[in-house]
Structure 1
Amino acid sequence: MDLHGLLDSITLENIMEIFNKYKAMGPVLAIGLPMLESFLPLLPLVLFIVANVNSFGLFLGFILSWIGACAGSILVFLIVRKFGQKRVFNFLRKYKSIQKMLSWFEHRGFGPIFLLLCFPFTPSAAVNVVAGLSKISIVNFVLAVLMGKLVMIFIVSYTGQDLQSLVTKPEKLIIALAVLAVMWIVGKIVEKRMHPKKPHPADEK
């Protein structure tokens, strides 16, 4: 089976069938699949979250998805941070777009990573890699991942596969925005208490 065929076979029905077949391993799979997506970004994270919610209920499915997605992102970040100077990653620094993101992450810290990870279709693998190459502190990155993934997974868990309901049903959009705002405020408060914000060169002019 080629890659395209493999991806086509990953449907909500097939994932639910795997959960039913291996009930004893349910929580391990529920955490493992979102974690695996951090390393293989072509995998459908949204489907994994919806399958977890359908299998374990809204609260537990949300928690298991959040643990897996956060653990995967943090592992990717730590691997890139450790081996970021090696040739396999070093060529990325040559691209201007990567250089801009590196500068943005390093000087803005929590904010941009949090916002990028709040949205379901952001290429979070790219965010994890660039953050690992940057000089952002591990604590700031972990905080942004925990908060950003919480918002994103809550939105997907709350709406299911029907993300369009955020547009068609204003009450869902209001709740999603409220969660985003609360997590943003909490994250910024924690960040300020841990690390005073470094001025960006552009701000000093």
Structure 2
Amino acid sequence: MAYLGRLWESYNHYFTLEHVMELLEQYRGFGPLPGILLPMAEAFLPILPLFIFVIANTNAFGLWLGFLYSWVGACVGALLVFFLVRKFVRGRLANFIGRHEKVKKMMIWIEKHGFGPMFLILCFPFTPSAAVNLVAALSKVSTNQFILAVLAGKMVMIFTMSFIGYDLRALVEQPLRSVIVGVVIFLLWIVGKRIEVRLQTNVKQRDH
């Protein structure tokens, strides 16, 4: 437990907005590459703070370039996970899928509904998009449907994050704006959770 506590403290110390921005400044000579690689890494390690990466990009590169770099990185990461799992892992997990009914039901539900639910999940920052990447790769959903859902859904999600985090100083100096941003984040969290619950309910209803 002590080791986990130290690990958590290190995580909180390293992945702060200030530290990530220092990292971007340190490697500014590489152009947009660091700003793209950080959101891309989050697709492979969902524990990484995508929200912090996006805010750091918008403050380091400006609203539009920061949004663009974050969106490209997030999309490339999601697509890489999808293609790698589908090509190298899906066959090996056939037995696992067969033993876990919830995973199997979610796969069937996504296969049946295609673009719609994937797009909605990927629009909101507080829904399990990493799980969607994995389940979609294990399912028989078409590659074109997944690519379209990722490009469109991530665009909405990343721009929302970018717009909220673009001018952090204004959030401090203008309390009303801070309240509005807080309400927006809270509403996005509620909507994301409702979508997640609705998906789980639909899977259960389909089973019954």
TM-score by length of 2: 0.75
Match of 2:147 in 1: 142
Match of 1:189 in 2: none
Residue 99 of structure 1: how far off its partner (Å): 1.6
Residue 22 of structure 1: how far off its partner (Å): 1.6
Gaps of 5+ in 2: 172-177, 188-204
**Which of 136, 139, 142 lines up with 1:131 in the alignment?**
136
Gaps of 5+ in 1: 174-201
Kindly indicate which of the two structures has a greater share of residues assigned to helix.
2
Match of 1:156 in 2: 161
1:33-57 CA distances to partner (integer Å, 9 max, x unpaired)?
A: 0000000000000000000000000
Match of 2:37 in 1: 32
Q: In structure 1, what is the Cα distance between the partners aligned to 2:182 and 2:38?
A: 28
Matched pairs, number: 172
Match of 2:11 in 1: 7
| RMSD over aligned Cα atoms | 2.6
Residue 24 of structure 1: how far off its partner (Å): 0.6
Q: In structure 2, what is the Cα distance between the partners aligned to 1:93 and 1:51?
A: 42
Match of 1:85 in 2: 91
In the alignment, is residue 48 of structure 1 matched against residue 21 of structure 2?
no
Q: In structure 2, what is the Cα distance between the partners aligned to 1:30 and 1:95?
A: 37
TM-score by length of 1: 0.76
For residues 96 and 149 of structure 1, do their structure 2 counterparts lie closer, same or farther at Cα, with a shift above 3 Å needed? Answer: same
In the alignment, is residue 117 of structure 1 matched against residue 122 of structure 2?
yes
Q: Which moved more, 1:23-32 or 1:42-51?
A: 23-32
Residue 92 of structure 1: how far off its partner (Å): 4.0
State the SS of the aligned residue for 2:91.
coil
Q: In structure 2, what is the Cα distance between the partners aligned to 1:164 and 1:111?
A: 31
Contact 1:39 1:72 in 2 (8 A): yes
In the alignment, is residue 165 of structure 1 matched against residue 165 of structure 2?
no
For residues 110 and 19 of structure 1, do their structure 2 counterparts lie closer, same or farther at Cα, with a shift above 3 Å needed? Answer: same
Amino acid of the structure 2 residue aligned with 1:47? I
Residue 25 of structure 1: how far off its partner (Å): 2.0
State the SS of the aligned residue for 1:136.
coil
Residue 96 of structure 1: how far off its partner (Å): 2.3
Q: In structure 1, what is the Cα distance between the partners aligned to 2:42 and 2:58?
A: 17
Q: In structure 2, what is the Cα distance between the partners aligned to 1:47 and 1:93?
A: 37
For residues 86 and 107 of structure 1, do their structure 2 counterparts lie closer, same or farther at Cα, with a shift above 3 Å needed? Answer: same
**Which of 63, 86, 110 lines up with 1:105 in the alignment?**
110
Match of 1:187 in 2: none
